[in-house]
Amino acid sequence: MVFIVCNQFPLIAMRYNDVFNNTDVIDEVLPKYKAAWAKRGMIAENGLFRQHYAPKRDKVIDNTEVGHSFWISAFLAWNDDLVRSSFPSIGLGFIHKIGNRMNIRPSPLANAIRDIVKKEGGDPDSPSVIGRAEEAAAGRRQTTRKYMGPVFGHVAQGMSEIVGSPDLDALLLHADTYLQPSWAKGGLYYARCDRYWDDEGNYTYGEPYSGNAAIGYARLNVKGGQKQMWHHPWTREEVEQRPWIDGLGFEMDVDCLRGRWDHKKKVMDVALRTWNGSKVSVKPVVRNLPPGTYGVYVHGELKNVVEVRSSCDQVCVELVVSGQDVEFVVLRA
């Protein structure tokens, strides 16, 4: 079976390998891949991405759950036009706003709303349409699978890539309200919950993929992040020339809240804090700086001046980090 979403990860890997190895494998593979799916159609009549192609049966299988389409949208980096043109219709009926947060409806209800709107038009959020859809969906299972997939995580990933904030913020507010945000050793996760929706229709299902990885990915990703990496991936030369910070690790109980090199201003800006409020002595080392004279500032106060003559030279900063933010800057004069 050929799953659209599963294909995207090796395609992305081919693109990155081409840049790294100075080859052009993706230019040979991608046109064939596009042609194969153009023959069968990536988008089904229901407006969602198709699930997979079964070669032995020569049949394309459709999908009725929104998570699958949002997952594809998050990683179909080479076909941004298709994703953006189809994205509004993908979420119709499934994603709805309640105040300042976004909720996800069960598939039977969402698909009933989509059917009514497709046949008759109208507002998918109108009480009359929703009421009729609820009657049509009554008694149906919330998922056709043996267990529900990581719908929330996939929706969050797709939303982070295609629309970003404020819609993403509204979805994450739902996660922070209904998905049991929890902390363990400085790490945020969303606890397991086997109930899919509560009595008020709020999505509550929690599983490892969404709770441990996908929601975190959505928070860290920038709008169009995969698209940017597809068209302008980091080259070996870029990475080798970029300044970086050594001497910090999670085993020190220290969180790095900010670590940014501004190439134009020639400044490294860092913020640290211990996740458990303890006091820890650390010695972060800034490596690979361009030659020049650098001032080391802690909370805006000049602490040291260091001359960097080559990329082998380094700047070491001695700090005591606690539960309050500690900020230091290394700035070229």
**pLDDT, averaged in runs of 10, over the chain (333 residues):** 94 96 96 94 95 92 95 96 94 97 97 96 94 94 83 98 97 99 93 96 98 98 97 90 94 94 97 95 97 98 97 96 97 96
d(CA 280, CA 254): 8
Strands annotated E in 211-300: 244-246, 254-262, 267-274, 280-282, 285-287, 292-298
* Alpha helix ranges (H) inside the chain: 4-21, 25-40, 66-75, 80-91, 107-120, 127-137, 151-162, 167-178, 208, 215-220, 225-231, 236-241
Q: Are 201 and 105 in contact (CB under 8 A)?
A: yes
d(CA 3, CA 229): 22
pLDDT of residue 144: 73
CA dihedral over 16, 17, 23, 27, signed as positive or negative:
negative
Q: Which residues contact residue 291 at a Cβ distance below 8 angstroms, ignoring those fewer than 6 apart? A: 308, 309, 310
pLDDT of residue 112: 97
Domains, the chain, with CATH or none:
2-106+142-231 (no CATH), 243-332 (2.60.40)
Amino acid identity, position 269:
D
d(CA 210, CA 224): 20
pLDDT of residue 160: 98
- The answer to whether the predicted template modeling score (pTM) of the entire model surpasses 0.85 is yes
pLDDT of residue 111: 97
Q: What are phi and psi of 267, to 5 degrees?
A: -140, 135
Extract the tokens encoding 107: 């598939």
Q: What are phi and psi of 69, to 5 degrees?
A: -70, -35
Q: Using CB atoms within 10 A of its CB, is residue 270 exposed (0-12), middle (13-18) or buried (19+)?
A: buried
Q: Which residues contact residue 110 at a Cβ distance below 8 angstroms, ignoring those fewer than 6 apart? A: 66, 93, 94
Map residue 161 onto helix, strand or coil.
helix
Q: Are 104 and 111 in contact (CB under 8 A)?
A: no
